[in-house]
Amino acid sequence: MVADVSYTGPDFDPPRQRRTRRAPLTVAFAALVPGALLGWLVYEAAGGGAGRTASPAPAPRSATVSGITPAASPGDDAKASGSPSARPGGAGPLRGKVVVVDPGHNPGNFHHTAEINRQVDIGTNRKECDTTGTSTDDGYTEARFTLDVAHRLRTLLEEQGATVRLTRDDDSPAWGPCVDERARIGNTARADAAISIHADGSAEGDRGFHVILPGSVHAGAADTRAIVGPSHDLGVRVAGTFLRETGEPPSNYVGDGTGFVTRTDLGGLNLSTVPKVFIECGNMRDSKDAALLTSGAWRQRAAQGISEGIVSFLRGS
């Protein structure tokens, strides 16, 4: 769930209207999508998925999605190692590159409603500093999910030589940071790429992932015009590799089956001066998606998919 949407907890997540049919994809847009995602989208555009809930593509490698055992135990979470701030990268193809990873929300936000409800400037208007995020019906929170995926992603990117900074970590303040500060962290680091990790909180039966791209904004403190193009490139690459590694389909309830949504109301994107996208990895309130999101094995694949998209973007390959 994106940080700029105001929710006070799982019981208050408003259902979204499901879409039962996909709009045809334009040739120009589809031509930009990597092979793995393109194959899915061509199938959907041809009517193969019309009128039904999307089901996941076959899982990669030897594991199958149905074979994953859901687990939300603390021992299944990836553990942070070393400093939570930027750590210098080692030898590898991404040496000299800086990536900022933004794990959405904070577990302490539930106890700091006054602080996170404070209005901040996002360029186009003012919105809440942050929100609580959502959770599965069993109580596995989005904030815990996003930090776990961020830890796994950091490890993978550091193995490629990148310097990685998280916007929050285990020893972060008790709440936040605010959405404007999350953007500022990426800007100050002069990140070559930034990604905000989330999971959605829609209705049962709403499934799949989607990548949120920044729209063109030039208002107040926001000016995304220089990053719209590279952010689109980053998002397309991440979507393709995420689908390939996880088998999670593009969302069947937003984005018309494309796996992409462009928004101009998110402070984390509006205020960014570096290429940045959000990824909603799945819907925590759908039982099938929740079984994946609570699996450490699947979260590792999610991190792998995101990592491969970022590596592809930074290497221009």
Given the residues 44, 181, 248, 280, select the one marked as catalytic.
280
The residue type found at 151 is H
Phi, psi of 39 (to 5 degrees): -60, -40
Task: Look up 181 and say whether it is catalytic.
Answer: no
Angstrom CA distances, 254 to 23, 208, 258, stand at 11, 9, 8
Distance (Å, whole) CA 25 – CA 257: 9
What does the alpha-carbon distance between residue 291 and residue 182 come to, in Å, rounded to a whole number?
A: 29
C-alpha span between 307 and 315 (Å, rounded): 12
Residue indicated by tokens 């309130």: 285
Tokens (6 digits) for 124: 């186009």
Going from the C-alpha of 194 to that of each of 72, 165, 179, 274, 281, the distances in angstroms are 27, 9, 14, 7, 16
- Residue 150 near residue 80, CB atoms below 8 Å: no
3-state secondary structure of 308: helix
The span from the CA of 29 to the CA of 197, in Å, is: 24
Catalytic residues: 280
